[in-house]
């Protein structure tokens, strides 16, 4: 939306201010203040810059710091460190080493405390990397601190950069999908668990993957009624334990069902759901009216790779990754030397694997700059841990994703 005359602002992550002017925008925005870009830029030099402070970025910073890289900068556009973790009030699965049994919100604090204990890590919040360029021996990143105020432009030069930018929620096309009350499930989770705001009174959840199931349960915990969960596939995609918790609370899960439309005057007043056949085509006559004031869309995530594309990293569409991803080797280095990727940006997976990939990227970036404290041994350990996570039935998709990425690497790699 356009905020205070600044176009293309992501209002979902922009803090509200008294008398703030927010307008809908149905056009390509124009640069409002051309002088802004000519303002004095502050120049910064760093060894390693990490874009994104989710589990992948935090672990990348900690690992590079342990290798004694002299100057590391961790940048995030949010006003809190932790990425998705800051809204995850449930306990994590996985191995003990990757903090299974810990709540995401506690993990974010724990990792941030570790980051703060290293003198060689600096951090910048509310700072968005808006551009990146690949130089001969270094990389240049352009950052803006608090875009709505147009405060400060930074030019950051670094020897190595790790993109741990996470992912974006997918949307669905159906009549009424732009009515107030239609949300991405991650947005609802942020509203409830970060800001303590209920999205509505009665929710229809679309998607029975882990995100749809977990957010449905958290809605119930917040005192919001969940009418039902509908899932277009013939079976539930998330863990059974999450589905069982919902069913115990009386929330039905309708597989082979989808949303047909949402209706209401100026806001959501109800929705129509419909059964689908094996080819995902609507079955006429199965339409059902659902009373709700909120519709949550939990139909997957797409890796955030725009900066990686801009810096020239080779990307490919890989369905198992959730969309286009940067091709990378087993050290998480992309096709551009010194440019690394980790976490959901390298293929949608989990916080646990994002943490390990972050460690792998952090250690590899350090090694490239000549800092080596048992790096080879540690890399082996991290790769083994990733293989372990990707070995079970739920690991099949990410395993296939990484195998396909390896095949796209020119010359092939031993993944
Ligand atoms: C509802 C839900 C439940 C989940 N439950 C589990 C679970 O039980 N166990 C588990 O292991 N995983 C779980 N996950 C998955 C897990 O949260 C993600 O896989 C993980 O957070 C990915 O980590 P990341 O560091 O790659 O990205 P993120 O956590 O998304 O962090 C990316 C960060 O990058 C920042 N950023 C992006 N672009 C820029 C830019 N241009 N400039 C500056 N900063 C930028 C963002 O602000 C963000 O802070 C769950 C996810 C959801 C949505």
pTM of the complete model: 0.92
Q: What is the pLDDT of residue 30?
A: 65
Instruction: Give the residue whose CA is nearest to atom 14 of ligand 1.
Output: 350
Which one-letter DSSP state was computed for residue 8? Answer: S
CATH of the domain at 257: 3.50.50.60
Q: Which of 57, 165, 186 has most ligand 1 atoms within 8 Å of CB, for mutation?
A: 165
Q: What is the pLDDT of residue 147?
A: 52
Mean pLDDT across the stretch 149-175?
91
Mean pLDDT across the stretch 371-380?
96
Instruction: Please tell me the distance between residue 7's alpha carbon and the centre of ligand 1 in angstroms.
Output: 25
| Total Cβ atoms within 10 A of residue 147 | 20
pLDDT at position 387 over 70: yes
**Same domain? 198 vs 294:** yes
Q: How far apart are CA 356 and CA 391, in angstroms?
A: 15
pLDDT band at 415 (very low <50, low <70, confident <90, very high): very low
**Which residues are registered as beta bridge partners of 73?**
49, 122
Give the pairing type, strands 72-75 and 253-254. Answer: unpaired
Both tokens assigned to 270: 């109800």
* Mean pLDDT of the residues in the chain: 91
Q: How far apart are CA 13 and CA 357, in angstroms?
A: 26
For 153, what's the count of Cα atoms within 13 Å in the CB-facing half-sphere? 13
**Same domain? 225 vs 320:** no
Q: What is the pLDDT of residue 89?
A: 85
Q: How far apart are CA 32 and CA 47, in angstroms?
A: 34
Residue 216 belongs to domain spanning = 171-299
Residue 307 belongs to a domain: yes
Residues near ligand 1 with C-beta < 6 Å? 51-57, 75-78, 83-84, 88, 92-94, 128-129, 164-167, 186, 189, 210-211, 214-215, 304, 307, 343-345, 349-352, 354
Instruction: Give the residue whose CA is nearest to atom 51 of ligand 1.
Output: 211
Supply the Cα-derived Rg of the chain in whole angstroms: 22
Residue 23 belongs to a domain: no
Instruction: Give the residue whose CA is nearest to atom 27 of ligand 1.
Output: 166
Ligand 1 atom nearest to CA at 345: 26
Mean pLDDT across the stretch 21-38?
70
pLDDT band at 25 (very low <50, low <70, confident <90, very high): confident
pLDDT at position 240 over 80: yes
pLDDT tens sequence across 181-219: 999 999 999 999 999 999 999 999 999 999 999 999 999
Instruction: Give the residue whose CA is nearest to atom 2 of ligand 1.
Output: 211
What sign does the dihedral 185-11-191-130 (CA atoms) show?
positive
Q: How many structural domains are present in the chain?
A: 2
**Which residues are registered as beta bridge partners of 296?**
183, 205
pLDDT at position 92 over 80: no
């Amino acid at each position: 939306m356009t905020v205070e005359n600044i176009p293309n602002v992501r209002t979902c992550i922009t803090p509200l201010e008294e008398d703030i002017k927010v307008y809908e925008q149905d056009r390509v925005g124009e640069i409002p203040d051309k002088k802004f870009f000519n303002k004095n830029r502050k120049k910064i030099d760093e060894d390693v810059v990490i874009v994104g402070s989710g589990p992948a970025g935090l672990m990348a910073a900690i690992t590079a710091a342990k290798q004694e890289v002299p100057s590391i900068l961790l940048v995030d556009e949010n006003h809190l460190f932790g990425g998705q973790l800051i809204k995850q009030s449930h306990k994590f699965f996985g191995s003990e080493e990757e903090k299974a049994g810990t709540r995401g919100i506690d993990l974010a604090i724990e990792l941030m405390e570790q980051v703060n204990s290293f003198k060689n890590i600096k951090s910048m919040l509310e700072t968005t990397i808006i551009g990146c360029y690949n130089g001969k021996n270094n990389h240049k990143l352009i950052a803006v601190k608090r875009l709505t105020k147009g405060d400060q432009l930074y030019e950051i030069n670094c020897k190595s950069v790790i993109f741990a930018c996470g992912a974006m929620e997918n949307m669905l096309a159906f009549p009424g999908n732009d009515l107030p009350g239609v949300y991405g499930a991650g947005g609802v989770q942020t509203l409830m668990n970060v800001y303590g705001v209920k999205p509505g009174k009665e929710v229809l959840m679309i998607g029975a993957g882990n995100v749809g199931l977990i957010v449905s349960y958290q809605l119930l915990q917040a005192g919001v009624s969940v009418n039902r969960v509908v899932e277009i596939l013939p079976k539930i995609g998330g863990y059974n334990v999450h589905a069982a918790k919902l069913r115990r609370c009386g929330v039905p899960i309708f597989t082979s069902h989808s949303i047909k439309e949402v209706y209401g005057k100026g806001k959501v007043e109800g929705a129509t759901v419909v059964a689908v056949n094996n080819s995902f085509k609507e079955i006429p006559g199965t339409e059902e009216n659902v009373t709700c004031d909120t519709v949550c869309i939990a139909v997957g995530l797409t890796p955030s790779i725009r900066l990686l594309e801009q810096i020239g990293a080779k990307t490919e569409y890989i369905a198992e990754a959730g969309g286009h991803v940067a091709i990378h080797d087993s050290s998480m280095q992309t096709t551009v030397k010194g440019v690394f990727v980790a976490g959901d940006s390298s293929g949608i997976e989990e916080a646990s694997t994002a943490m390990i990939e972050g460690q792998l990227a952090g250690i590899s970036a350090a090694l490239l700059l000549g800092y080596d404290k048992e790096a080879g041994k540690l890399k082996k350990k991290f790769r083994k841990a990733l293989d372990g996570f990707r070995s079970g039935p739920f690991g099949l998709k990410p395993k296939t994703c990484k195998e396909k990425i390896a095949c796209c690497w020119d010359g092939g790699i031993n993944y």
